[in-house]
Amino acid sequence: MPPFWETKTLEAMTQREWESLCDGCGRCCLHKLRDEDTNELSFTNVACRLLDTETGRCRDYANRKRRVPDCIRLTPRIVRKCDWLPPSCAYRLLAEGRNLPPWHPLRSGTVESVVESGASVIGRVVSERDAGPLEHHVAEWPGRRPRRRAPEFA
């Protein structure tokens, strides 16, 4: 029997299935900048203050919206409309009719595969509390497909 993500639409998934799509990379929790004139999107290496930069997970996921009012709770509708999810994001991939990458925990069976793949923000970001101006932290890697990390990061 094929896995649920190959047979169900985003809208048909249970809450548990929906939540399991998140690979925990943390890239969606990085600040982005949008040029007012060109509408061009730039990623930064600056993490939301709730993102644990050592684990790549939200420190208060259940209360994130209350603690960070501009945090966006993803829904199928938002996923289909937004342009700021990283290209490796499972929600984005499935919305585009593509499959999960081999390193996704639902396929690999381990969360370590996210770090090994180079998708994780662990060791690559700074908290917004320490960053200063976002313009000084524009980074291309969050908007690109992951590349395997060097062995010392695995």
> Given CA atoms 54, 19, 115, 131 in this order, what sign does their dihedral have?
negative
Confidence of residue 147 (pLDDT cuts 50, 70, 90): confident
Cα–Cα distance for residue pair 68/50, rounded to 1 Å: 8
* Side chain identity at residue 153, one-letter code: F
Q: What's this model's pTM, rounded to 2 decimal places?
A: 0.89
pLDDT in tens, 87-126: 999 999 999 999 999 999 999 999 999 999 999 999 999 9
Decide if 73 contacts 82 (C-beta within 8 A): no
Locate all alpha helices (DSSP H) within 2-152, ordered by sequence: 4-7, 15-20, 64-67, 76-81, 90-95, 105-108, 112-117, 128-131
